[in-house]
């Protein structure tokens, strides 16, 4: 995640994910590693970005959501790539 005002959204991220899941990568980017439950990646991505934009309107987000055998990559609200991964048993 990238934003012009990281101090404004950091408390929101920590409230949503907890301190242990939120890592500041540099001055205005965050990495979030968490397990979430929801309807689908598109809806969870939309909900998260909408929540962050209520705090900081210029928030930009690149995200990767993995579920079962599918990984979906988003830029803001747009799905950029969806890939299937092999399941190792």
DSSP string, the chain: -B-S-HHHHHHHHHHHH-GGGEEEEETTEEEE------S-HHHHHHHHHHHHHHH-TT-B-EEEEEETTEEEEEETTEEEEEEE-PPP-
What's the confidence (pLDDT) of residue 83? 95
Tens digit of each residue's pLDDT, the chain (89 residues): 666 788 888 999 999 999 999 999 888 889 999 999 988 999 999 999 999 999 988 889 999 999 888 999 999 999 999 999 776 66
- What pTM value is reported for the model? 0.81
What's the confidence (pLDDT) of residue 88? 65
What's the confidence (pLDDT) of residue 15? 95
What's the confidence (pLDDT) of residue 43? 95
CA angle 44, 74, 48 (to 5 degrees): 30
């Amino acid at each position: 995640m990238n934003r012009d005002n990281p101090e404004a959204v950091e408390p929101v991220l920590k409230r949503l994910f907890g301190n242990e899941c939120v890592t500041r990568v540099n001055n205005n980017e965050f990495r979030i590693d968490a397990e979430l439950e929801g309807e689908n990646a598109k809806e969870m991505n939309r909900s998260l970005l909408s929540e962050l934009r209520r705090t900081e309107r210029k928030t930009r987000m690149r995200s990767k959501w993995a579920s079962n055998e599918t990984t979906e990559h988003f830029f803001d609200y747009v799905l950029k790539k969806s890939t299937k991964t092999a399941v190792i048993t």
